Amino acid sequence: MSEFEVPHFISAPNKFVSETASRQLSKRAAAGELVRVRHGLYLLADAWDALPRWHKYRIEIQAVHELALRSPIFAHESAAQIMGLPLISIPNRVQTLVPPGQGGCRSSNGVQRMEALAGDPEPWEMYGLLLTPPVQTARDLAVRLPLSHSLPAMDRVLAQQILPGSPVNVPLTFQREHVRAAIELLPNATARTRAQRVLAVADGKSQSAGESLSRAIMIEHGFPQPSLQREFRDGLGRIGFPDFDWEEFKTLGEFDGHEKYSAQRYLNGKSPAQTVIEEKNRENRLRALGYNVVRWEWQDLRNPQRLIRLLREAGLPSK
């Protein structure tokens, strides 16, 4: 969410006093002209409807912040969304922390309040918001979410890449020992075990949420663990770094997120058609080395049985 732009909310000049203005905004919302994001905060309906769900969620987080008398500390998926850790699905509630000992998991008005852990570091400030730091956020997701939804964030935390918008004077990249130390602060063995299982299979070489989700599906269905991003060369020089490599089975896997065929940062000045041709040539060179190449995309991950079938057809064993 590093590119997030704080929206210009439409509100009454003084939402605590001007009842007339508030009633007018409510009427405009009832007529479909405005959308009520949160009490007293509105956006134009056409603009809101055009936004993807993840952007709407980020605006909902911002609205909670705007209305708070004291800056809330965002946590779990809300913290991940702010700092740019990948999420596979968007929750229906904004998540914030309450101090230890006050009880957690209380929900009201679309906000879920989670109990903070004693011993956790001070919150980070990113884009004007307070939130749990990356290690603690990834740990908390590992406790609460299934592997398919928590592994992408854990992979990203271990990627040794600074998150855009990170504050200064704090560690900006993280090792496994940092996550292990955060896991030890969890209050019970069940939570620690869940988080440790995610950390055990996390790999900072993963290049995208789609690759992480792919690997989670592989793990959950007993496929052999692949190597990630291993360099391949032939007589012409470097071929590239396939996403997944099962050397024992002479099989390579590639996740196509389609961004590289459309986003300028992936095209590097080339046309999408040129990029497709280069991908095909690259695949032919890998096949010439004796490797089977299997490819899949997002729709195969939305229905995991499709990916499972592709991997089995490629000759990979599973439980």
Of the ranges 55-59, 223-227, 263-267, which one carries the lowest mean pLDDT score? Answer: 263-267
pLDDT of residue 278: 79
If you average pLDDT over residues 93-99, what whole number do you get? 94
Q: Which long-range contacts (CB under 8 A, 24 or more apart) does 191-194 make?
A: 191/143, 194/142, 194/143
Residue 117 lies in domain: 71-204
- How many degrees, rounded to 5, is the angle at CA 212 between CA 288 and CA 76? 170
- Other Cβ atoms within 10 Å of 315 Cβ, number: 12
Same domain, 77 and 37: no
Q: Tell me the percentage of the chain whose pLDDT exceeds 70.
A: 91
User: How many structural domains is the chain composed of?
Assistant: 3
List the structure tokens of 152: 């992408």
What pTM did the predictor assign? 0.89
Q: What angle do CA 54, 59, 62 make, to 5 degrees?
A: 130
Q: In whole angstroms, what is the distance from residue 80 CA to residue 90 CA?
A: 10
End-to-end distance of the chain based on CA atoms, in angstroms? 38
**Which residue blocks in 131-229 are alpha helix, DSSP H?**
134-144, 147-157, 176-183, 189-201, 209-220
CB 41 within 8 A of CB 109: no
Same domain flag for 302 and 196 = no
Report yes or no on 183 lying in a domain.
Answer: yes
Q: Please, what's the b/e burial string for 62-92 (b: 16 or more CB within 10 A of its CB; e: otherwise)? A: bbbbebeeeebbbbbbbbbbbbbbbbbeebe
Instruction: Kindly tell me the sign of the dihedral angle through the C-alpha atoms of 137, 256, 251, 221.
Output: positive
Domain check: are 109 and 6 in the same one? no
Whether 319 maps to a domain, the answer reads no
Examine the domain organization and report whether 245 and 271 are in the same domain. Answer: yes
Q: What is the pLDDT of residue 3?
A: 60
pLDDT score recorded for residue 266: 47
**Does residue 127 form part of some domain?**
yes
Structure-token match 């007993």, residue found: 222
Asked whether residue 59 is domain-assigned, the answer is no
Both structure tokens of 141: 């997701």
If asked whether residues 93 and 179 sit together in one domain, one would say yes
Q: Could you give the CA distance from residue 12 to residue 24 in angstroms, rounded to a whole number?
A: 9
User: Are both 140 and 250 inside the same structural domain?
Assistant: no
Domain boundary among 204, 221, 243: 204
In this structure, the answer to whether residues 5 and 103 fall within a common structural domain is no
* One domain, residues 196 and 98: yes
Query: Of 204, 221, 240, which marks where a domain is finished?
Result: 204
How do residues 166-178 score in pLDDT, each as one tens digit? 999 898 999 999 9
Same domain, 224 and 284: yes
CATH number for 299: 3.40.960
Q: How far apart are CA 140 and CA 230, in angstroms?
A: 30
Query: What pLDDT does residue 101 have?
Result: 74
129 with 115, same domain: the answer is: yes
What is the C-alpha to C-alpha distance for residues 287 and 283, in angstroms, rounded to an integer?
A: 6
Which of 177, 204, 231 is the last residue before a domain boundary? 204
In a domain, 65, yes or no: no
Confirm whether 126 is domain-assigned: yes
pLDDT of 179 strictly over 60: yes
Residue 300 has pLDDT above 90, yes or no: yes
Residues 133 and 224 reside in one and the same domain: no
Alpha helices in 252-313 (DSSP H): 264-267, 272-288, 298-302, 304-313
Output the six-digit token pair for 308.
């499972």
> How far apart are the C-alpha atoms of 296 and 258, rounded to whole Å?
11
Q: Which amino acid is at 90?
A: I
Q: Which two tokens stand for residue 72?
A: 């809330």
Point out the least confidently predicted range of 78-82, 105-109, 302-306.
105-109
pLDDT value, residue 16:
55
Over range 29-50, report the average pLDDT.
94
